[in-house]
Amino acid sequence: MRSPSRCASALAAIRMDRRNFVAALGAVGVAIVAQATRAQTAILTDEVGIESDSTRIAVIGGSMPIFFAKPADTKTLPTVLVVEEIYGVSDYLRDVCRRLAKLGYLAVAPELFFRQGNMAPIGDRPALSATTVSRIPDAQVMSDLDACVAWATNNGGDPRRIAATGFDWGGRVVWLYATHNAKLAAAVAWYGLLDTPRTRETPLQPADVVERLKVPVLGLYGGKDAEIPPEDIEMMRARLALADEECTIVVYPEAGHAFHADYRPTYRPAEATDGWQRMLDWFKRQGM
């Protein structure tokens, strides 16, 4: 006959397995919904004429995975850092890299959350933000992006032509990186938060650092974005008018958050296409 303590341990293990199963099932459900949406709306870019791969680069505290795509057999390429959404370097983000490679860019997408481990089981956006993303220090992110620039310039990238673009969480990061790296030629921020609570890890927000911008920034935002109030956008516009750098914000009145994310229900093809072209025009205007 089993002892009470062994029975209790077995019961606890069963409960733990059940919790893990439920968490895993929830993550699978999120993945299924995302895949169903992606199957209907996603842009899928082939690799004819380009090369793509993953590698790791040395950063403070570890070895960071990156995904990159570039034109085949071409050197001295303009480089675009592609900064991830809150959901990481997804199939969508890798496809964005391939799209840029088709246009002649070396596109590099770093796994900036790699120190936090596998976040796939955290399917809930608020939980993901509260438990993981909000705890990542901005200073660490800036350092990691610097490492990407160094890797790119040693692997076929032109050090005089470097740009950054980012989506969602990455949009906020792009605003900050444009104050950090004066070597950038241009930056494009897609619906990045502008004025959120300051913490030890995130002591400054884009609204705080307009006067520190060192490169031209284009901001692309939705007029019906539930996460970014219209007053934040108008406040940022007013401050940008006083900035030394050429910066502008475009607002799509009928779009919400993540309107470029073609694997999510928020995707709006017309606004996404227009924003993409504006981004490319911005890059060309700044010598990219």
Name the CA dihedral angle for 58, 63, 67, 72, rounded to a multiple of 10 degrees.
40
Query: Cβ contacts of residue 229 below 8 Å, gap of 6+?
Result: none
Would you write out the chain's pLDDT as a tens digit for each of its 288 residues? 444 444 344 333 433 343 343 333 333 333 434 444 454 789 999 999 999 999 999 999 899 999 999 999 888 999 999 999 988 899 999 999 999 999 999 999 999 999 986 655 555 666 666 556 778 999 999 999 999 999 999 999 999 999 999 999 999 999 999 999 999 999 999 999 999 889 999 999 999 999 999 999 999 999 999 999 999 999 999 999 988 889 999 999 999 999 999 999 999 999 999 999 999 999 999 999
For residues 188 and 282, the answer to whether their CB atoms sit within 8 Å is yes
Q: What are phi and psi of 168, to 5 degrees?
A: 65, -120
Rounded Cα distance between 276 and 281, Å, is 9
Q: What is the amino acid identity at position 126?
A: P
pTM for this prediction: 0.85
* Residue 34, number of CB atoms within 10 A of its CB: 20
Residue 217: closest CA among 191, 248, 243:
248
Find the farthest-apart pair of alpha carbons in the chain and give their distance in angstroms, rounded.
Answer: 79
Residue 205: closest CA among 214, 192, 216, 218:
192
